[in-house]
Amino acid sequence: MQDAIIIGGGAAGLSAALQLGRSRRTVTVVDAGKPRNAPSPAAHGFLTRDGVAPHELTRLGRADLELYDVRVIDGTVVSAEKMDGVFHVALADGTSIEAPRLLVTTGVVDELPAIPGLAERWGHDLVHCPYCHGWEIRDHAIGVIGSSSMAVHQALLFRQWSPNITLFLNSAPEPAATERRQLAARGVRLVEGAVARIHSTDGAVSGVELADGSLHRVDALTAQSRVVARASFLTTLGLAPVPGEFGELLQVDGNGLTAIPGVWAAGNVADMRATVLAAAYAGAMAGVAINMDMIAAELAADVAAFDAAEPLVATG
């Protein structure tokens, strides 16, 4: 039997597989092939890979694993069960694989405000984070579509990348008096009222239409997505994401261990703020933690066997 199964082969999962493979462990990675940033043509902020296409990054990651005892399967995990200390992981194609340890690195789904025309722009000129794509829309007329308590923060943040910011309050809470002063002091326009639809022209965002019919010109957008861990296959193990203000994530300790012994989680599925680089780091550290857990178990077994074979001789 192999040592571990990694569910999800994005930056976090492939990075964990690299650490485990290099630790002389046998590993299977199951990957559905849809990294969170797949809608975007390029991933930024990853040193030595700035601007790489998301699928090219995972292709390069898989290539790094070829040297080691790591198998990567294209597939989707649908459930996981534990029997006699072994996890049985079922795939959508009807096959199943077994291992005593699991790492969940399946990332998240971004739930966007239900505004006609919005979802189509996600990953293009509707950007989720300024550190990833702010440079690409610098000095654009950026509209911030409000839907949560982060709306004012997001507008003030994007102000670093453009002096031309409009916060469309939409369904976000009313800004406090202090926040209104901050927006005004930074030259951020505040437009109240519900957003009815997003207009695009020639495949690029061109305007925000409010419910009152008014049309406001913008050429880039940002919004607050609600992030939901891709982890429904864990319910058979009794593990579920924990709801919070901005989404639902798996909870882990400092080593990535979940509440279920033998199950670790890393990357976006447990940390909504993790960029690609941070997800790769978290995956690498989870790989190290899994290897250490195996070393501890092997050491305990070897010491027990050693003591059984050579009982301590009483002295004195």
Residues that bind ligand FAD (CB under 6 A): 7-13, 30-37, 39-40, 43-46, 76-77, 105-107, 110, 122-123, 128, 132-133, 230, 233, 267-268, 274-277, 279
DSSP 169: -
Minimum CB separation from ligand FAD for residue 256, in Å?
12
Give the whole-angstrom CA distance, residue 78 versus residue 90: 6
Give the whole-angstrom CA distance, residue 16 versus residue 31: 13
Nearer to ligand FAD, 31 or 248 (CB): 31
Minimum CB separation from ligand FAD for residue 87, in Å?
14
Minimum CB separation from ligand FAD for residue 306, in Å?
40
Nearer to ligand FAD, 10 or 117 (CB): 10
Q: Report the half-sphere exposure of 36 (CA within 13 A, side-chain side).
A: 29
Minimum CB separation from ligand FAD for residue 169, in Å?
23
Those residues whose C-beta lies under 8 Å from the C-beta of residue 243, and which sit 6 or more positions away, are: none
Minimum CB separation from ligand FAD for residue 295, in Å?
25
Helix (H) or strand (E) holding 298: helix 276-309
Nearer to ligand FAD, 133 or 159 (CB): 133
Q: If we measure between CA atoms, which residue out of 69, 64, 67 comes closest to residue 11?
A: 64
Nearer to ligand FAD, 65 or 279 (CB): 279
Mode of pairing for the β-strands spanning 242-244 and 226-229: unpaired
Minimum CB separation from ligand FAD for residue 255, in Å?
16
Nearer to ligand FAD, 52 or 210 (CB): 52
Let me know if 237 is exposed, middle or buried by CB neighbors in 10 A (0-12, 13-18, 19+). buried
**Cross-strand partners of 89:** 80, 97
DSSP 256: S
Nearer to ligand FAD, 183 or 222 (CB): 222
Nearer to ligand FAD, 45 or 82 (CB): 45
Minimum CB separation from ligand FAD for residue 216, in Å?
23
In this structure, are residues 106 and 230 in contact, taking their beta carbons and an 8 Å threshold?
Answer: yes
Would you say how long the chain is, in residues? 316
In this structure, are residues 110 and 36 in contact, taking their beta carbons and an 8 Å threshold?
Answer: yes
89 phi and psi, to 5 degrees? -110, 120
Nearer to ligand FAD, 125 or 179 (CB): 125
Minimum CB separation from ligand FAD for residue 262, in Å?
18
In this structure, are residues 89 and 186 in contact, taking their beta carbons and an 8 Å threshold?
Answer: no
